[in-house]
Amino acid sequence: MHLPVVDFQSPTAPQEFCKSLHETGFGVLKNHPLQRDLVEGIYDEWLAFFKTEAKHQYLQDPVKFDGYFPPNVSETAKNNTKKDLKEFFHIYPWGRYPTEVSDAARRYYVQGSQLAATLLNWVEDNSPPEVKARYTEPLPKMIEGCDQTLLRVLHYPPLHGDEEAGAVRAAAHEDINLLTILPAATEPGLQVLGKDKFWFDVPRDFGLLIVNIGDMLQEASGHYYPSTSHRVLNPTGEAATKSRISLPLFLHPRREVVLSERYTVGAYFNERMEELKGGKK
């Protein structure tokens, strides 16, 4: 599998980037505007936060999905039976936010959402006419005034060897939303499934921003933009003693948007959340 690196500043970036999204479901951008200091500061202070008991004060809301998700709640990927080896905190503009950390993740939420919106404009502009005709409204309009975009601060704890057999940091899955932006994590492990059915290591260099299509954009585009499976492998040897932090931002449309003849966003979201809780295998 080949993931071309596209220069965000280049005049031909939108076309090159969307070609990559169409062909692989993934896009890799260099010279992107996200600030390294901001992201690394978030990694540091949230890792410290995850190591404290304070996180339990923010236990997730099972209806609104904001707050802290401990490892025993976590997620079970669709068609999988084991819970992922991770804990995470869901940040929404209206949701709970720990007093133990600075406002850096909130600031990142704003910057990341703006960048994701720009990339969605690129996707709209570079959709062929027959794909555009499928969108029930222009993609940028689907996110207008939406407060469902989610910033997830993810912590994969060190492995101690007593994990359930077959459990992994993140089992193969596809994202639910329109598109996801993901700065380099603190440790390697992220892989994407190529059309050739081989797993491919996603580059991990802070200069490179990883973007991937989610199921909602796949559905709205009639699969022109594929939502590609990805996973996070368990580290081995010395690396197993280390935590891994990552920071995906999931761009979401308004709940009432019609994605296709089969689905509104709301109906699609509810179905997928049930699957993630492990209710439907």
Residue 154, contacted partner among Fe ion, ligand AKG, none, CB below 5-8 A by kind: ligand AKG
Task: Answer with the entry of Fe ion, ligand AKG, none that 257 interacts with (C-beta below 5 to 8 A by kind).
Answer: none
C-alpha neighbours within 13 Å on the C-beta side of residue 117? 16
Which residue of the chain is nearest ligand AKG when measured via CB? Answer: 246
Neighbours of 158 (CB within 10 A): 12
Is residue 84 within the footprint of Fe ion (CB under 5 A)? Answer: no
Q: Which is nearer to ligand AKG, 120 or 154 (CB)?
A: 154
Nearer to ligand AKG, 235 or 248 (CB): 248
Closest separation in Å from C-beta 230 to ligand AKG = 5
Q: If binding is defined by CB under 5 A, does position 175 make contact with Fe ion?
A: yes
Stretch that binds Fe ion, among 41-49, 70-78, 127-135, 171-179 (CB under 5 A): 171-179
Q: Do you know the residue count of the chain?
A: 281
Q: What residues are paired with 193 via a beta bridge? A: 199
- Least distance (Å) from ligand AKG to the CB of residue 240? 16
192 binds, among ligand AKG, Fe ion, none (CB under 5 to 8 A by kind): none
**Dist. CA 256–CA 266, nearest whole Å:** 6
- Between 127 and 246, CB nearer to ligand AKG: 246
**Number of residues near Fe ion (by CB under 5 A):** 1
Looking at the DSSP bridge assignments, the partners of residue 72 are none
Instruction: Work out how close the CB of 89 gets to ligand AKG at its nearest, in angstroms, rounded to a whole number.
Output: 12
Q: In the complex, which residue's CB is closest to Fe ion?
A: 175
Give CA–CA dist 273/258, Å, rounded: 18
Q: Which is nearer to ligand AKG, 12 or 36 (CB)?
A: 36
Nearer CB in complex with ligand AKG: 139/151? 151
Tell me how far apart the alpha carbons of residues 9 and 264 are, in angstroms, rounded to a whole number.
35
CA distances from 245 to 39, 96, 97, 134, 234 (A): 11, 20, 18, 37, 13
> Quick one: 180 exposed, middle or buried, by C-beta within 10 A (0-12, 13-18, 19+)?
buried
If you search the block for the tokens 């068609």, which residue do you land on? 79
